[in-house]
């Protein structure tokens, strides 16, 4: 990778009190006007961001190991994205693709059909958010199969709209009190190697875990009732769970045999994050439909469903759409972000980042008894924290440790995010353009915070 040109100095710096006076003042204004239901995990207000650095309104600089939840993979203000957005808004901000279409939408579809796994004939439709992409993938699968049931997994996260709340596993905070939820959604067990029960021959294999899920589907729903299996190839919010090898291919093969649409939700794992363009590629899984968002457009809101032409084109004209879906400015940003990913070979860069992070986290796990598991792929790595002395036995979740480590790191100028059904996982999602030096510095901070916890 050639060094990326950045405006902001790529270094962390905490000046004076924290959070500073300007952030505190904004927090006061906010509490009087912003709905309490939307929470922020970091108590400072952003003024600028570039590369892997976020600068707040008081001049503090943070190394961003969250990328705004896996979005700013090309950096927070990639030069190419900024230039493309500027150029796009100079011409037009909106026409609505359903009224007067434009080239950017078509060009993004060409890119996605090319980049997503499989060389079959594909079609793409664009939306605004990840949840919207997931909802529409389910619409396509139901219409194309004439079936209703949708199968999802333990620990899954697919969004906050009504259907996607039903698809999401965790009640608090996502679903609690927000029902009733959409019907015909069925949940089956995930392959979660760290917390897996023993299989027939010791640890449960991916194939055994898939057979367990398939058995439940066949008994409790009936394969011929199932429109789609929806799965994150690496689970995001649920705890960066990488299923055991063989789990995804076994499910995909069963889906193919039974006429079930296999939907990979690559909203978090896609666009180079795991060391490949899409996480499905690590086990050569070719999904029928892929949902994408987050990293796709360098920070602008854009999402997509790309899939088999015969499924996508089963939908009647006018059956898919929305006022803003595939907004021209967001499309321009996506084309620029994708070009940056190609130019900088960000899939390889994500693999390199993983090769730096994984050994450091494993070495750290040797020095403490609160790290139960180190896992992930590429630049999507995590540690799962457990109560002291339980890592190899009861694996008792330790969300308190996760919280205190994240807070300690933040005070030193490193933004980290938690995740996991039990809130006990710290995830690392650096911008893929982060330098080795800056990453090493952030890992030093994390290491010290873990050892102090
Ligand atoms: N599918 C796999 O990770 C979004 C959500 C954060 P939207 N994950 C971050 C929060 O608390 O709201 C996500 C995802 C996967 C779908 C989504 C939904 O994407 O763009 O947030 O709608």
Ligand 1 neighbourhood includes 232 CB (under 6 angstroms): yes
Which residue, 190, 301, 180, is CA-closest to 239? 190
Please report the pLDDT score of residue 200 as a whole number. 61
Half-sphere exposure of 44 (CA within 13 A, CB side): 27
78 lines ligand 1 (CB under 6 A): no
Counting other chains too, the contacts that 197-202 makes at CB distance below 8 Å and 24 or more residues apart are: none
Q: Does residue 135's CB lie within 6 angstroms of at least one atom of ligand 1?
A: no
Q: What is the DSSP string of 291-339?
A: EE-GGGGTTS--EEEEEEHHHHTTSPTTSS--SSTT-HHHHHHHHHHHH
429 lines ligand 1 (CB under 6 A): no
Q: Of all protein residues, whose CA lies closest to atom 1 belonging to ligand 1?
A: 158
Find the 262 Cα to ligand 1 centroid distance in Å.
19
pLDDT of residue 373: 98
Residue 194: its pLDDT value, please? Answer: 96
Q: Are strands 414-415 and 371-377 parallel, antiparallel or unpaired?
A: unpaired
- Predicted confidence (pLDDT) per residue in 107-153, tens digit: 999 999 999 999 999 999 999 999 999 999 999 999 999 999 999 99
Atom of ligand 1 nearest to the CA of 161: 22
Atom of ligand 1 nearest to the CA of 294: 20
Return the residue whose CA atom lies nearest to atom 5 of ligand 1: 159
Domain segments of the chain as ranges: 21-64+345-452, 81-343
Q: What is the pLDDT of residues 386-416, one digit of tens each?
A: 999 999 899 999 999 999 999 999 999 999 9
Assess whether the C-beta atom of 134 lies below 6 angstroms from ligand 1.
Answer: yes
Q: Which among 69, 165, 174, 243 is the best mutation to test ligand 1's pocket, defined by most ligand atoms within 8 Å of the CB?
A: 69
Cβ–Cβ under 8 Å, residues 293 and 70:
no
pLDDT tens-digit readout, 76-112: 999 999 999 999 999 999 999 999 999 999 999 999 9
Half-sphere exposure of 148 (CA within 13 A, CB side): 5
Q: How many CB atoms lie within 10 A of CB 325?
A: 23
For residue 134, give the ligand 1 atom closest to its CA.
Answer: 16
User: In the CATH hierarchy, which top-level class contains the domain 81-343?
Assistant: alpha beta
Sign of the CA dihedral running 151, 153, 157, 162: positive
* Ligand 1 within 6 A of CB of 293: yes
pLDDT under 70: residue ranges of the chain: 1-4, 197-202
Q: Ligand 1 in contact with 158 (CB < 6 A)?
A: yes
For 43-65, write each residue's pLDDT tens digit: 999 999 999 999 999 999 999 99
The CATH number, out of the four listed (3.40.50.10140, 3.90.1150.10, 3.20.20.80, 3.40.50.720), of the domain defined by the range 21-64+345-452: 3.90.1150.10
Residue 5: its pLDDT value, please? 77
What torsion, rounded to 10 degrees, do the Cα atoms 154, 155, 156, 160 define?
120
Task: Tell me if 236 CB under 6 Å of ligand 1.
Answer: yes
Q: Is 129 in the pocket of ligand 1 (CB under 6 A)?
A: yes
Ligand 1 centre distance from Cα of residue 159 (Å): 5
What pLDDT score was predicted for residue 6? Answer: 86
Question: Do 21-64+345-452 and 81-343 agree at the fold level?
Answer: no
Is residue 270 lining ligand 1, measured as CB closer than 6 Å?
A: no
């Amino acid at each position: 990778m050639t060094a990326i040109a950045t405006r902001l100095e790529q270094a962390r710096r905490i000046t004076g009190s924290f959070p500073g006076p300007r952030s505190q003042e904004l927090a006061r204004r906010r509490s009087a006007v912003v709905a309490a239901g939307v929470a922020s995990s970091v108590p400072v207000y952003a003024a600028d961001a570039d590369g892997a650095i976020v600068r707040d309104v008081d001049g503090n600089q943070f190394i961003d190991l969250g990328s705004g939840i896996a979005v700013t993979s090309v950096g927070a203000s990639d030069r190419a994205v900024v230039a493309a957005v500027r150029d796009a808004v100079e011409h037009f901000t909106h026409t609505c693709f359903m009224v007067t279409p434009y080239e950017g939408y078509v060009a993004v579809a060409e890119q996605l059909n090319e980049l997503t796994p499989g060389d079959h004939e594909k079609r793409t439709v664009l939306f605004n958010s990840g949840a919207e992409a997931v909802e529409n993938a389910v619409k396509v699968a139901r219409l194309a199969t004439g079936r209703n049931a949708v199968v999802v997994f333990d620990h899954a996260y697919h969004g906050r709209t009504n259907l996607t709340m039903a698809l999401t596993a965790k009640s608090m905070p996502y679903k609690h009190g927000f029902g009733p939820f959409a019907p015909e959604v069925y949940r089956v067990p995930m392959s979660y190697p760290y917390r897996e029960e023993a299989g027939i021959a010791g640890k449960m294999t991916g194939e055994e875990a898939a057979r367990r899920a398939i058995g439940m589907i066949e008994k409790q729903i009936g394969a011929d009732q199932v429109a789609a299996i929806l799965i994150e190839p690496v689970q995001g919010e649920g705890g960066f769970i990488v299923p055991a090898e063989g789990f995804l291919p076994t499910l995909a093969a069963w889906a193919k045999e039974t006429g079930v649409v296999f939907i990979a939700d690559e909203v978090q794992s896609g666009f180079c994050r795991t060391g490949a363009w899409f996480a499905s590629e690590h086990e050569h899984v070719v999904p029928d439909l892929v949902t994408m968002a987050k990293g796709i457009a360098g920070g602008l809101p854009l999402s997509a469903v790309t899939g088999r032409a015969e499924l996508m084109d089963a939908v009647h004209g006018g059956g898919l759409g929305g006022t803003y879906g595939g907004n021209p400015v967001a499309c321009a940003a996506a084309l620029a972000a994708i070009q940056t990913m190609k130019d900088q070979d960000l899939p390889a860069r994500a693999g390199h980042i993983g090769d730096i992070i994984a050994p450091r986290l494993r070495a750290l796990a040797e020095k403490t008894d609160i790290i139960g598991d180190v896992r992930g792929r590429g630049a999507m790595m995590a540690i799962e924290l457990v109560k002291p002395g339980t890592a190899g036995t009861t694996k008792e979740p330790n969300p308190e440790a996760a919280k205190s480590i994240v807070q300690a790191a933040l005070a030193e100028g490193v933004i980290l995010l938690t995740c996991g059904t039990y809130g006990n996982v710290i995830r690392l999602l650096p911008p893929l353009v982060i330098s080795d030096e800056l990453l090493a510095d952030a890992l030093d901070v994390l290491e010290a915070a873990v050892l102090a916890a």
